[in-house]
Amino acid sequence: MATRVAVVTGAASGMGRLAAERLTKAGWAVAAVDLPGPQLDSAAAETGAHAFRCDVRDDDQVAAAARGVVAAFGGIDRLVNAAGIAVAGHVEDLPQDAFERSISVNYLGTVRWVKAVLPAMRSRGAGELILFASLAGWMPTPAMGAYTATKFAVVGFAETLAMELDGSGIRVRCVCPGAVQTPMLDDIMSRGMPERLKRLSQVAAPGEIIDAIEVSLVRRNAGIYVFPGLPVKVLWRARRLSPQLLGRVIRRLSAVNSDG
């Protein structure tokens, strides 16, 4: 059986690094994609992945990296698009470039990589596109507008993509976790996210998210969305059934800046 090939973006840390590690241990050839620097080099060396230096905001770099992966390994079977940045702050307080950076990394970075790997997957008639959105892509919260907007965009993009790829052999998963214990969460908390709001979905370990993705990929008729953990599923259903009530709860929690 030929070695399967995965591209993992955001592989230098957090969810991306763990995804790269899990896949290499499972026998995949993994292209670990992130900004150039010692963090990527260390992650690649420690996980057994192959480092590909790339800024997901740059069309040419993404296209070149995808070509490099195909040249090195002969194809691409899975994309794990975990690259992302957290931008926190009230809309009126954030500079315009904060919104543009968030869009370029979190949303357009996803689009760039999907478009870059699709030809290789089309040629094989199979593939897996694992796109990281967030519970924030369904449930807006104050002071997270720049981030939330990009995750809403990823949700809509993933659903459209799944429709367009129906029957192609290429599967789409849109991963929508709540709070996950990663450096990104630490950064958001340092910017003043209320502790009670973080607890709303319970903080998950990165491994729980990876496990949920793999379960979804082997389950028949799983659908495109991956909501890891019962609290996240409950919040998603609450948002769909009673958005006004959930909105009031979120506003109340957001107004509390301590554990008291």
Place of tokens 């260390």: 42
Listed residue (138, 134, 241, 147) closest to 191, CA to CA: 147
User: Is 147 in the active site?
Assistant: yes
Question: What are φ and ψ of residue 206, in 5° steps?
Answer: -55, -35
Q: Which pair of tokens denotes residue 201?
A: 């979905």
Q: Which residues pair with 33 in a beta bridge?
A: 9, 52
- Single out the catalytic residue among 147, 157, 225, 236: 147
Q: What is d(CA 256, CA 2) in angstroms, rounded to the nearest whole number? A: 54
Listed residue (206, 227, 108, 190) closest to 157, CA to CA: 108
Q: Which residues are catalytic?
A: 147
